Amino acid sequence: MQNQDDTNISFVDLKAQQERIRPQIESAIARVFAHGQYIMGPEVLRLEQTLADYCDVSHAITCSSGTDALLVALMALGIGPGDAVLCPDFTYTATPEAIALLGGIPIFVDVEPDSFNLDPCEIEKGLQVAKLNGLQLKGLIAVDLFGLPAAYDRFEQRAKELGLFVICDAAQSFGASANGRKVGQFGDITTTSFFPAKPLGCYGDGGAVFSNNENLAETMRSIRLHGKARTGGKYDIERIGINGRLDTLQAAILLEKLTIFEIELKQRQHIADRYSKELSPKYIPPNDPQHVRCSWAQYTLRSNTADRDLILDGLKSHGVPAAIYYPKPLHLQPAFNSFPCTSTRMTVASSLAKTVFSIPAHPYLTQKQQTKVIEKLNWLADQESL
C-alpha cells in the first residue's frame, strides 16, 4: 500500500510499511504475548535460521543493536587495549566507537570518492601508521555505506596475507550483494543493524552478526549471552560477555517484515534508477556498479560545496526533506581527534562531508512524490544562484 497523501513527503515512511502488514505484525506480537518467552523465545531462533538462509551463511546470531553486533564481533576476535583496527573516516560513529570501547585504537583511513567506502589502497598506509605509532594492527572494519558493499574482492586477499581480520559493517547494507556474494558472507564476520530506519528495521533496537566460521560463531553466541558456556547451566560463565540479546518481540516483528523485504528492495532500486536517470547532471549521482546489488539505505547525491546549503534550503521550502550523512569526518570529531589517521587532511572524507546530501528514497514513495523530488531538485539546479 502506498502513502495516499502525495504532497506530504517523509524521509522514511514506517507508517506506510506498517499499514501494509499490520494484521500480520499484530498476530506475531499476540503470539509472543501468549507464550510469554520475552527473552530468547522461539522467534529468536526462527529468525536466526531465516537470516542465515537468506544470506546463505552458516551462522546468524541476533544482537541487541548494530553497535553491540560490532562489539560482539571485535570481542570474539580478541580486540583489547592498544590493538589497532583500521576503519573509514566517513561512517557513523558506532564503527570506531566499538573499537575504542574495548580500549582499541581506531586508525582512520580515507574513502573512495565514488563509492564512499574504504579505499583499498589505504590499507598499506594504515599499516605504516600503525608501525610509526608502535601499534599492533589486528584488522579492519569496512563499512557498506548507504547500502553499497565495499570493494571486498579488492582487499580481502591482501588482508589475509597481512594476517588482518576483516569485519564487514553492514548496518546499512542488509539485503545487498556483490559479485554473486550476499551481504553476510563478507569478511570473517559481518555485522548489521535492525534500527527502525535501516533497510530491514524492527520497532526498537536490534542487530545481528554473521559468519561461516564455526569457532567465531560459538564465541559470539557466548559473548552475546554474558559469556555463558555452551554446555552446562545458566550460571556457567566461561568468558566476559555482554547482555546483547535481541528481544523476542523484535524477532517476531522482523520475521513478518522479512516477508516483504525483497519487494521493498526492488522498489528501492526502481526509485534509485529513476533518480539517477532523471536528475540534473549538476548533481553527481551515487555509484551503482554492475554485478552489485545495493540496498539503498540512502540515495546520496553530491553537489558543489558552495551550493549544498542553497539546495537544502530550497528543498525544505518546497516540502522535500533531505539529510546530511555525515556532516563531519570522524577524525575531526572531539571524541576521535586524538586517534591516528592515514593523512592529516583526509581529503576525500573531508570533501564528502561538505558536499553530500541524501533525499527521500524509501520504498513507499509514490510515483508522484518521486516526480516532485525530481522536479524540485531540477528546478533548483536551473537557478542562476547554483
Ligand X SMILES: Cc1ncc(COP(=O)(O)O)c(C=O)c1O
Of the pair 258, 386, the CB lying nearest ligand X is at 258
Taking CB under 6 A as the rule, does residue 89 contact ligand X? no
Taking CB under 6 A as the rule, does residue 3 contact ligand X? no
Residues 326-365 that bind ligand X (CB under 6 A): none
Q: Which of the stretches 165-173, 181-189, 335-343, 355-363 binds ligand X when contact is defined by CB under 6 A? A: 165-173
Q: Which of the stretches 8-16, 22-30, 65-73, 278-286 binds ligand X when contact is defined by CB under 6 A? A: 65-73
User: Left (φ > 0), alpha (ψ -120 to 50) or beta: where does 103 sit?
Assistant: left
Q: Are 181 and 191 in contact (CB under 8 A)?
A: no
Cβ neighbours of residue 306 closer than 8 Å, sequence gap 6 or more: none
The reply to whether omega before 326 is within 30° of 0 (cis) is yes
Residue number, nearest CB to ligand X: 66
CB of 67 to ligand X, least distance (A): 3
CB of 101 to ligand X, least distance (A): 12
Taking CB under 6 A as the rule, does residue 92 contact ligand X? yes
Taking CB under 6 A as the rule, does residue 175 contact ligand X? no
Amino acid identity for residue 365 in this structure = L
Of the pair 205, 247, the CB lying nearest ligand X is at 205
Taking CB under 6 A as the rule, does residue 117 contact ligand X? no
Taking CB under 6 A as the rule, does residue 202 contact ligand X? no
- Which cell numbers hold the place of 259? 516477508
Of the pair 16, 168, the CB lying nearest ligand X is at 168
Of the pair 116, 275, the CB lying nearest ligand X is at 116
b/e map of 278-306 (b: 16 or more CB within 10 Å)?
A: ebeebbbebbeeeebbbbbbbbbbbbeee
Q: Which of the stretches 54-62, 128-136, 167-175, 250-258 binds ligand X when contact is defined by CB under 6 A? A: 167-175
Q: Are 340 and 131 in contact (CB under 8 A)?
A: no
State the burial class of residue 120 (Cβ atoms within 10 Å of its Cβ: 0-12, 13-18, 19+). buried
How open is the CA angle 190-192-195, to the nearest 5 degrees?
Answer: 175
Q: Which of the stretches 2-10, 61-69, 215-223, 256-264 binds ligand X when contact is defined by CB under 6 A? A: 61-69
Closest CA to 62 of 247, 278, 306: 247
Q: Which of the stretches 87-95, 303-311, 314-322, 327-335 binds ligand X when contact is defined by CB under 6 A? A: 87-95
Give me the count of residues in the chain.
386
Of the pair 174, 195, the CB lying nearest ligand X is at 195
Rounded CA gap, 292 and 294, in Å?
A: 6
Q: Footprint of ligand X on this chain (CB under 6 A)?
A: 65-67, 91-92, 94-95, 143, 169, 171-172, 193, 195, 205, 207
